[in-house]
Amino acid sequence: MHTPIRAVLFDLDRTLVDLEGATRHGILAHLDALGLPAGDDEYLRWKEYEDVYIGRYMAAELGFQEQRRCRARAMSRMADLSDADADIWFNGFYSRMTAALKAFADVEPTLDALAEVGVTLGIVTNMISAYQLEKLHQCHIDPGRFACFLGLEELPAAKPHPDAFLTACSTIGVEPHEALYVGDEPITDAAAAREAGLRSIWLDRTERLATLPEDVHVRLDGVEICSDLMSIPARLSA
């Protein structure tokens, strides 16, 4: 038997919000509007730039707006694009992406079920709060459901650092072993939360488990795995 869970903490992107589907729509629709090729290769190229420049932002090498400009310059293949023009280019993508954002179908019923059993809910995300709160509103998820909403600027360190998870537990007044963390990243979310002392679930919506290298499987020891959120309420008493 697990320790009774008093709080469930969530990642946001790709856990509650279908950011991947919206990103694909946003960049391909933007390229198409510019009269440029818009297919799988371009989407994958955009994702590569996202990994590089958001990674540099997370490492405090670039500011939030600058990583956006870097992505716009790289994707447009116009390295000399001015800041203003890079902002315009990125906003063309971002407006289309935002319009396509939606919550996964299992989010509202799961949050309702967790509220019924009286657990405290929270969100811990590696992006700035204002940016992430916009997504909640766009997806019609009430921020008032969550007792804590910790964005990057409110964390002592970004996930996977244990302090990200421990700060959330302290904020809502529970011990780490009384909290469950749910996220879509096997290391940054699931393994890191488990190593910080929380119970954790890796949300593997796209069946990535079989593709993971052996060292990641080792890190996932003690982590539960599910393919959707609907099983979470029943797991609290398991």
Span 97-112, pLDDT tens digits = 999 999 999 999 999 9
- Global pTM exceeds 0.85: yes
- The average pLDDT across 209-235 equals 92
Domains of the chain with CATH codes: 7-18+102-235 (3.40.50.1000), 19-100 (1.10.150)
Q: Residue 1's pLDDT band (boundaries 50, 70, 90)?
A: low
User: What is the rounded CA–CA span in Å between residue 31 and residue 75?
Assistant: 10
The Cα-based distances of 39 to 31, 43, 49, 162, 210 in angstroms read 9, 6, 16, 39, 27
Cis peptide before 213 (omega within 30 of 0): no
- The average pLDDT across 146-167 equals 96
